[in-house]
Amino acid sequence: MKLSATHYTIMALIGMAAVAYYYRSEYVKQKITNDYQSDEIQQLTDRINDQNTHIDMLHEQDVKRLKVLANAKSKIDQLSDNLRTNTQRVFVKAECPVREASASSGVDSSRPARLEKDAEQDYVRLLGELETLESQFLGLRDYVNTECYKVKK
């Protein structure tokens, strides 16, 4: 049996069809992979954007807390300066039991009792520590409310 040009043409067409089918099937596989990766990239991008938004919100809370703390510290520093220069005083509001015998001790009991200088400095220090602790507590409370009690999407 002799092969003619028609036979060779048919074999060439079958070979070309097989090659075309192979490349088309590889193209379809690659397209499916690309679509999957595109979806995954979009999901990751959305997740990153959500995280960036969340980080910005936490940063705003931190800035707010730090601003409140700085304002309180400046007020405490001003009070400390005023106490040091005697432009303000710290008085103790206390009630002491009155003795039955009214002996004159030379102390004027009608004026409120004033703190000593070292006690004033302790008062200012404790006031500063109280402000710091309060700010830390409020910051932690806000963090817990936003992180632990937020509704998951």
Residue-number span of the structural domain to which 19 is assigned: 5-98+112-147
Please report the beta strands in the chain, taking only residues with DSSP state E, as ranges in sequence order: 91-92, 113-114
Question: What is the average pLDDT score of the chain?
Answer: 85
Q: What percent of the chain has pLDDT over 70?
A: 82
Picking from 33, 131, 150, the residue whose alpha carbon sits closest to that of residue 80 is: 131
Kindly state whether residue 104 falls inside one of the protein's structural domains.
Answer: no
Kindly state whether residue 37 falls inside one of the protein's structural domains.
Answer: yes
Q: What pLDDT score was predicted for residue 121?
A: 84
Picking from 50, 65, 39, 79, the residue whose alpha carbon sits closest to that of residue 141 is: 65
Q: What pLDDT score was predicted for residue 106?
A: 58
Q: What percent of the chain has pLDDT over 90?
A: 42
Check residues 3 and 140 and name the one with the higher pLDDT: 140
For the segment 131-139, the average pLDDT, to the nearest whole number, is 90
Q: What pLDDT score was predicted for residue 153?
A: 44
**Any idea which of 93-102, 104-113, 142-151 has the lowest mean pLDDT?**
104-113
Kindly state whether residue 152 falls inside one of the protein's structural domains.
Answer: no
pLDDT > 70? residue 145 = yes
Q: Tens digit of pLDDT for each residue in 67-106?
A: 989 998 999 889 888 888 888 777 777 666 666 655 555 5
Place of tokens 């009690």: 149
Kindly state whether residue 67 falls inside one of the protein's structural domains.
Answer: yes
Distances (CA, A) of 72 to 40, 87, 89, 121: 48, 19, 19, 16
**How many separate domains does the chain show?**
1
Kindly state whether residue 105 falls inside one of the protein's structural domains.
Answer: no
